[in-house]
Amino acid sequence: MSLAEEVELLRRIPMFANVEISKLKLLAFTSERVSFHAGDVLFQQNEMGSSAFIIVSGEADITVDTPGGPLVVAHVGRNDFIGEIAILCDVPRTASVVARTDMTTLCISKDLFFRMVTEFPQMAVEIMRVLAQRLENTTRQLQEAVSGAKPG
């Protein structure tokens, strides 16, 4: 896959949808393409993260450790952006990600990600929008869960 195709792929990710093509090209060029075999661990819960991944192809399970062993909480696949929380907030990984099939990803290092964000404010705004949306979703889900749990 060449740079041009990677740029196409990045455009389909909501966070980058409104970012200029030339910036996406720069992001693609400066990030590293990394492939994983099925069963490989992209990253482990509670480790400090140094990079985020954009899935180019393949699927992965997101798991969290529970007293009863790892629990799969979500699936991610093509075009998903994962691992950004740890590099944005400097917290340990909140979950593990394990490749379910062979995967190809774009690996964006923390330095690179921050430099892109500071260099290109519109990218930062997009990221903010996506994160805010996620927060809004989570809040609504929580509200629904809370009101659903109320008797009557």
The residue count for binding other proteins (CB under 8 A) is 21
User: Closest separation between CB of residue 13 and other proteins, Å?
Assistant: 18
CA distance 22 to 25: 5
The least CB distance from residue 77 to other proteins, in Å, is 17
Nearest CB to other proteins, comparing residues 114 and 130: 114
Selection from 88, 64, 74 nearest residue 138 by Cα: 74
Rounded distance between C-alpha atoms, residue 22 and residue 28, angstroms: 10
Provide the token pair at 117: 């964000």
- How is 84-143 classified by DSSP, letter by letter? HHHHHH--B-SSEEEESS-EEEEEEEHHHHHHHHHH-HHHHHHHHHHHHHHHHHHHHHHH
Question: Please, what is the minimum distance in Å from the beta carbon of residue 25 to other proteins?
Answer: 6
Residue 121: Cβ within 10 Å count: 9
Nearer to other proteins among residue 43 and residue 81 (C-beta): 43
**Using the rule CB under 8 A, is 26 a contact of other proteins?**
yes
Tell me how far, at minimum, the Cβ of 51 lies from other proteins, in Å: 11
42 in contact with other proteins (CB under 8 A): yes
Check binding of 76 to other proteins (CB under 8 A).
Answer: no
> Among 9-17, 26-34, 81-89, 122-130, which window interacts with other proteins (CB under 8 A)?
26-34
Q: Binding to other proteins (CB under 8 A): which residues in 110-149?
A: 115, 119
- Does residue number 32 form part of the binding site for other proteins (CB under 8 A)? yes
